[in-house]
C-alpha cells in the first residue's frame, strides 16, 4: 500500500506504521489520520501481520501533535467534530485494535502525539523522547482521549499537573510515571520493540485479542471487566490455539499456534 503521509511496511509478522511528515515534526493533519486509519484496517485484515509497531520518521519527533494550522479557525461545532471523528477513526480504533500495538516513541510526543502513543497498547521510548499535553497553552484541552488516558496511566494528580502546566517530561520521568514501559537508546528503540514483538508472537494471537478486550473493559464506563473476562476466557476454550497450547504443554513440546 502506498501513502503520502505515512509509511506502511511489513516484515516477519510485524507491521511498521511510521508517520512520515518530517518537515512538520509528524504533526497529525486530517489526511494523516485518514491514512493511519486505512493502514490499521489493512493490518487488521492481513493474516500475516501479528503485531504493529507505530513510530515517527526521523530522530526528532514521534508526533508533535495535531496539526495546529488545520484547526486554528474552527468553530465550536467544528472543534467538537474534529475530536469525535479523530477519536473514532484513530485513537479508539487503535486502543481497541485486536492485534498488539506498540508505540515506539522516538522523540517529541506532544498533544495528539502523546494521545496516539497512549492509545497504543503500551509504549517504549528512546532516551531523547519528550512527552506532554500542551493543549491548554493553545487555549484548548486535549481532544483525542488525553484527559482520560493520561490519568489512567499516570494517576489523576500527575495528569492534572501535566495538563495544567502544559509542560514536557523526559523519557526517564515518563518511565517513573508508568507512561512508558521501557527506555532505550535511540539506536535500540526499534530492535527492542521488535524483540518484544517477537516474545508476543510466540503466544496465541487469538488469546491475546481476548485479553486486549478484557483489559480494555476495565477502563470503559458502564462495563464490567470481570464479566468480559469470563466471556473471553470461555471463548478461548473453543479455539484451535487452546487445543494446541494445552496439547503442546502436555506433550512437552513447543506450541505452534494456528492463530484460530
Ligand atoms: N502542528 C503544525 N505544525 C507543527 C506542529 C504542530 N503540532 N509541531 C511542529 N510543527 C511544525 C512547525 O510549525 C515547523 O514548521 P515550519 O518549518 O513550516 O515553520 C516545523 O514543524 C518544525 O517545528 P519547529 O517549531 O520549528 O521546531 P522546534 O524544534 O523549534 O520546536 C516543538 C519543536 C515540538 C517544541 C514545537 O514544534 C512545538 O511546540 N510544536 C507544537 C506542539 C504542540 O503544541 N502540540 C499540541 C498540538 S494540539
Q: What proportion of the chain, given as a percentage, has pLDDT over 90? A: 98
- Tell me which of 135, 161, 194, 244 is the catalytic residue: 135
Instruction: Tell me how far the alpha carbon of residue 25 lies from the centroid of ligand 1, in angstroms.
Output: 6
pLDDT tens digits, one per residue of 131-161: 999 999 999 999 999 999 999 999 999 999 9
- pLDDT for res 1: 76
Distances (CA, A) of 125 to 50, 128, 185, 192, 230: 21, 8, 8, 10, 34
- pLDDT for res 2: 85
Strands (E), the chain: 6-11, 14-19, 51-56, 61-63, 101-105, 108-110, 122-126, 130-132, 168-170, 182-184
Pocket test of ligand 1: the residue of 5, 25, 145, 146 to mutate, having most ligand atoms within 8 Å of its CB, is 25
221 pLDDT higher than 90: no
For the question of whether the overall pTM of this predicted structure is more than 0.85, the answer is yes
| Closest C-alpha to ligand 1, atom 15 | 24
Instruction: Tell me how far the alpha carbon of residue 24 lies from the centroid of ligand 1, in angstroms.
Output: 6
Q: Which three three-digit cell numbers place residue 59?
A: 530522530
38 catalytically annotated: no
- pLDDT for res 166: 98
| Closest C-alpha to ligand 1, atom 2 | 67
pLDDT tens digits, one per residue of 42-54: 999 999 999 999 9
pLDDT band at 240 (very low <50, low <70, confident <90, very high): very high
Distances (CA, A) of 249 to 181, 208, 246, 252, 256: 30, 18, 5, 5, 11
Mean pLDDT of 25-39: 98
- pLDDT for res 164: 98
Ligand 1 atom closest to the Cα of residue 112 is 48
3 pLDDT higher than 90: yes
Residue 186: helix, strand or coil by DSSP? coil
Distance, in Å, from the CA atom of 192 to the CA atom of 196, rounded to the nearest integer, reads 6
- pLDDT for res 176: 98
176 catalytically annotated: no
Q: Which three three-digit cell numbers place residue 8?
A: 506502511
- Tell me which of 4, 77, 115, 240 is the catalytic residue: 115
Distance, in Å, from the CA atom of 207 to the CA atom of 233, rounded to the nearest integer, reads 8
- pLDDT for res 4: 97
Ligand 1 atom closest to the Cα of residue 61 is 34
Domain boundaries, the chain: 6-201, 205-250
Distance, in Å, from the CA atom of 139 to the CA atom of 162, rounded to the nearest integer, reads 15
pLDDT tens digits, one per residue of 60-113: 999 999 999 999 999 999 999 999 999 999 999 999 999 999 999 999 999 999
Instruction: Tell me how far the alpha carbon of residue 3 lies from the centroid of ligand 1, in angstroms.
Output: 22
**What CATH number is given for 6-201 in this structure?**
3.90.226.10
- pLDDT for res 31: 97
- pLDDT for res 85: 97
Residue with grid cell 496439547, as numbered in its chain: 247
Tell me the chain's radius of gyration from C-alpha atoms.
Answer: 19
Instruction: Tell me how far the alpha carbon of residue 68 lies from the centroid of ligand 1, in angstroms.
Output: 9
pLDDT tens digits, one per residue of 158-206: 999 999 999 999 999 999 999 999 999 999 999 999 999 999 999 999 9
Please name which of 163, 129, 165, 166 lies closest in space to residue 148, comparing C-alpha atoms: 163
Residue 170: helix, strand or coil by DSSP? strand
- pLDDT for res 88: 97
Amino acid at each position: 500500500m502506498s501513502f503520502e503521509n505515512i509509511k506502511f511496511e511489513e516484515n516477519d509478522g510485524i507491521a511498521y506504521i511510521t508517520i512520515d511528515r518530517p518537515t512538520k515534526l509528524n504533526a497529525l493533519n486530517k489526511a494523516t489520520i485518514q491514512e493511519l486509519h486505512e493502514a490499521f484496517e489493512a493490518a487488521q485484515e492481513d493474516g500475516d501481520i501479528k503485531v504493529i509497531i507505530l513510530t515517527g520518521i526521523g530522530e526528532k519527533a514521534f508526533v508533535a501533535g495535531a496539526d495546529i494550522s488545520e484547526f486554528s479557525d474552527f468553530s465550536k461545532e467544528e472543534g467538537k467534530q474534529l475530536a469525535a471523528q479523530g477519536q473514532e477513526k484513530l485513537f479508539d480504533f487503535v486502543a481497541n485494535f485486536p492485534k498488539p500495538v506498540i508505540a515506539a516513541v522516538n522523540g517529541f510526543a506532544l498533544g495528539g502525539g502523546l494521545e496516539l502513543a497512549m492509545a497504543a497498547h503500551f509504549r517504549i521510548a528512546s532516551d531523547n523522547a519528550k512527552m506532554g499535553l500542551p493543549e491548554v497553552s493553545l487555549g484548548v484541552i486535549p481532544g483525542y482521549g488525553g484527559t482520560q488516558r493520561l490519568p489512567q496511566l499516570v494517576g489523576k494528580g500527575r495528569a492534572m499537573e501535566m495538563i495544567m502546566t502544559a509542560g514536557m517530561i523526559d523519557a526517564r520521568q515518563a518511565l517513573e510515571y508508568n507512561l512508558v514501559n521501557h527506555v532505550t537508546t535511540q539506536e535500540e528503540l526499534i530492535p527492542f520493540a521488535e524483540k518484544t514483538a517477537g516474545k508476543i508472537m510466540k503466544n496465541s494471537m487469538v488469546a491475546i485479542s481476548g485479553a486486549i478486550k478484557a483489559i480494555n473493559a476495565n477502563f470503559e464506563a458502564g462495563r464490567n471487566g470481570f464479566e468480559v473476562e469470563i466471556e473471553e476466557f470461555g471463548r478461548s476454550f473453543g479455539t484451535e490455539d487452546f487445543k494446541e497450547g494445552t496439547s503442546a504443554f502436555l506433550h512437552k513440546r513447543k506450541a505452534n499456534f494456528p492463530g484460530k
